[in-house]
Amino acid sequence: MTPNIRPLVAGNWKMNGKREALATINVIANESEAEDLNAVEMLICPPATLLYVSTTLTEDVPLQIGAQDCHQAKSGAHTGDISAEMIADCYGTHAIVGHSERRTDHNETNEEVCAKAKAAIEAGLVAIICIGETEEERKSGKTLDVLKDQLAGSVPDNVNSKNSVIAYEPVWAIGTGLVPSIDDIKDAHEFMRNELVKRFADEGGAMRILYGGSVKPGNAGELMAIENVDGALVGGASLKAEDFLSICKATAGLLTN
Ligand code: PGA
């Protein structure tokens, strides 16, 4: 945790969840009003098919709804894509950009991720910009070099602590149950914080840096307590209301204890 930063716990449902999953949104939405969760900001990014209906279900509660990607253009001939403006038009508040699955499945480059983040910010969304090393890069000792390159290439110049969030997700930790050691996460987050401060001064010091990759109710407290870890990007465990809420509570508990 970084003092004075309100942590964000974001759920990324990926390509999971049909209409029946709206029941999960409802459970999380109802709980999001609980006093013991005030200390955290809560977000679910369902598939695009559920975005609009999810925002209508959460209109009066603190649970925010976001998208998992956005196109860099405002509109036009881009079959199958969704613009940041369209997400904002459906009352979405955030867009994840540069998730490693999109970098792999859709060959997204740092340059494209940067353009997407810029488009998200211009549409009034918060950009959650994902970076992280592969297993091979970690094994060959290149983790910090990769993070430096991805931060330089994927983060646009117009970011600030309100319109953007960095999510550090080691690719090899996503969906695998593997998590880096506490020291490795601490070092990576400290490195990213310094890079952000170098480039964005005070705003870089105030930006949230999330950790993502196999965050579960059982390890959330320990992970969220690490210096410069300002919340979590949660995949698998966000599909179950109970697990997602436990992660939020573990995070909030660190602030209220
Ligand atoms: P996981 O996914 O929590 O299932 O590891 C994290 C993510 O991809 O954002």
156-179 confidence digits (pLDDT tens): 999 999 999 999 999 999 999 999
CA distance 86 to 110: 23
Sign of CA dihedral 46, 47, 48, 53: negative
- Considering the entire predicted model, what is its pTM? 0.98
Please state the φ and ψ torsions of residue 222, each to the nearest 5 degrees.
-65, -45
- What pLDDT was estimated at residue 41? 98
- Closest ligand 1 atom, CA of 174? 5
- 24 close to 239: Cβ distance less than 8 angstroms: yes
Residue of the nearest CA to atom 1 in ligand 1? 235
Atom 6 of ligand 1, residue of closest alpha carbon: 235
Q: How far is the CA of 58 from the centre of ligand 1 (A)?
A: 23
User: Ligand 1 mean position to 100 CA, how many Å?
Assistant: 10
- pLDDT tens-digit series, residues 9-21: 999 999 999 999 9
The residues lining ligand 1, judged by C-beta closer than 6 Å to any ligand atom, are 12, 169, 174-175, 212-215, 233-237
What is the DSSP code (8-state) at residue 125?
P
pLDDT averaged over every residue in the chain: 97
Q: Rounded to a whole number, what is the distance in angstroms from the first to the last CA of the chain?
A: 13
Quote the pLDDT of residue 256: 67
Catalytic machinery residues:
99, 169
Report the candidate in 172, 209, 217 with the shortest Cα–Cα distance to residue 1: 209
